[in-house]
Amino acid sequence: MLWKTADFAGWGRALTARCDVARPERSRALDALLADGLVPAMGMRRSYGDAALNSDGRAIEMTRLDRMIAFDAATGELEVEAGVQVGQVAEVFAPRGWLPPVMPGTGFATIGGCIAQDVHGKNHHHGGSFCQHVLSMRLRTATGVVEVTPEGTPDLFRATAGGLGQTGVILSARLRLMPVKGDVMIVTERRIADWDEHIATLDASRATYTVGWIDATATGTALGRGILEEGETGSGLVPKRAKYRKVPFDAPRFALSAPVVRAFNQLYWRRVPESGRTVVKPIGDFFFPLDKIHDWNRLYGRAGFHQFQCVVPLAAVKELRGMLESIAGSGLASPLAVLKRMGEGRAGHLSFPMEGYTLAVDFPNRAEARDLIVRLIDRTKGAGGRIYFAKDSLASAKDVAAMYPELDAWRAAAALADPERALATDIVRRLQLRGAA
């Protein structure tokens, strides 16, 4: 297996790295690559920042190790290799009445990546995080292959779930899929007038899946307006799927200028009638709406973009409103902004979720936006919240300890699994997650 030097970027394209990469197609080839020691693994690189990057080092791309190994139709238990994409699981099993119980905003995320970030979805308020539905995983540590389970190896499981790949290379996993009614989504959409209504409707929603698009440019009495989507699985005729489109070039700077974004958001908000509406969508169109636009990250231009995503406790909702006021007043936000209510569920020491509200906003990679995000991170810390490692590219080491009180327990488990720190990546070094070098 040859190592090839290549340049890589996170999905935000603002952070890049050059490293040697290998792409094994069989487990034996992977074993040969790891014979001399551990090497960080990466999947489809859908983390926005530098979680999958290893500057001037080596990395193993796991995307060709993508077999679905076994499925038990009686229990919904599925065993897959780490390179399988979560959207592929949904596409194969939804027609058979099963879905991954937690799905992130892109179907291109690999199962290994979903575990490493302990991702959440539009049903976190009662479905919890991804790794809460992982029954076991096979993990290659410094001492060999280990079967990791919540019951048998709880410390290693909690360090691996959301652990950014720092305990070993995830080889495969057994998941418990969720029974569903069919492979379409019945989605109710309604306009939300302002912040208070947005929070109240999120709190009152009893739907299986709930998400709010928020107009991050609206100010004054319209602050926090948006569209609430509530979804349930259903059966019946599947509407015609939209064709995939591709962004062929990097968009010019003016494409996301403040007047353009405000005008787009106004039109997008008004696309839903005042009385609301109910529509039927294919599964993928509801869970992974941006996947229909390949390379949509190029809309932010050659410089790329950053996303700020935080979660704050329920009691800090006023502070979150203050953050949105700063964002809206800056004129820097893009049309991609999401507000959700989260539950308590989290599986790992470094898992992102907490019970509260999460706000995610994209910004073009400009100096004034970077300065704003740094201030928002500081306000998040002051509110008792935390940032999401899958989206972060601008936080510093001083921010992390207060946000993740189980950091020391994670560090101890990671040190046992990888004492030489061979698995450290750019985000681990930037945030000194495993301690100062």
Asked whether residue 384 is assigned to any structural domain, the reply reads yes
209 neighbors 232 (Cβ within 8 angstroms): yes
- Residue numbers in the chain where pLDDT is lower than 50: none
CA quadruple 96, 62, 158, 36: dihedral, nearest 10: 150
Range of the domain at 137: 68-180
pLDDT tens digit sequence for 304-347:
999 999 999 999 999 999 999 999 999 999 999 999 999 999 99
- Using CA atoms, how far apart are residues 395 and 375, in angstroms rounded to an integer? 10
Task: Tell how strand 16-22 and strand 58-61 pair up.
Answer: parallel
- From 160, 180, 200, the end of a domain falls on 180
Same domain, 341 and 235: yes
Instruction: For residue 337, give Cα distances in angstroms to 174, 215, 323, 328.
Output: 33, 7, 13, 11
pLDDT (0 to 100) of residue 238: 65
> To which residue do tokens 């941006």 refer?
290
Asked whether residue 101 is assigned to any structural domain, the reply reads yes
CATH code at position 336: 3.40.462
Same domain, 158 and 279: no
Same domain, 304 and 360: yes
- From 119, 154, 180, the end of a domain falls on 180
pLDDT (0 to 100) of residue 126: 93
Same domain, 214 and 338: yes
- Two tokens at 372? 């704003």
Asked whether residue 424 is assigned to any structural domain, the reply reads no
Same domain, 121 and 212: no
Same domain, 102 and 248: no
Same domain, 228 and 170: no
pLDDT (0 to 100) of residue 152: 98
Domain total for the chain?
2
pLDDT (0 to 100) of residue 210: 98
Helix or strand or coil: residue 126?
helix
pLDDT (0 to 100) of residue 241: 64
pLDDT (0 to 100) of residue 1: 57
pLDDT (0 to 100) of residue 54: 98
Nearest Cα to Cα of residue 132 among 346, 425, 316: 346
- Enter the DSSP assignment of 132: G
409 neighbors 26 (Cβ within 8 angstroms): no
pLDDT (0 to 100) of residue 286: 95
pLDDT (0 to 100) of residue 242: 62
pLDDT (0 to 100) of residue 236: 76
- Enter the DSSP assignment of 385: -
The reported pTM is 0.97
Q: How far is CA 113 from the centre of its chain?
A: 9
Same domain, 165 and 193: no
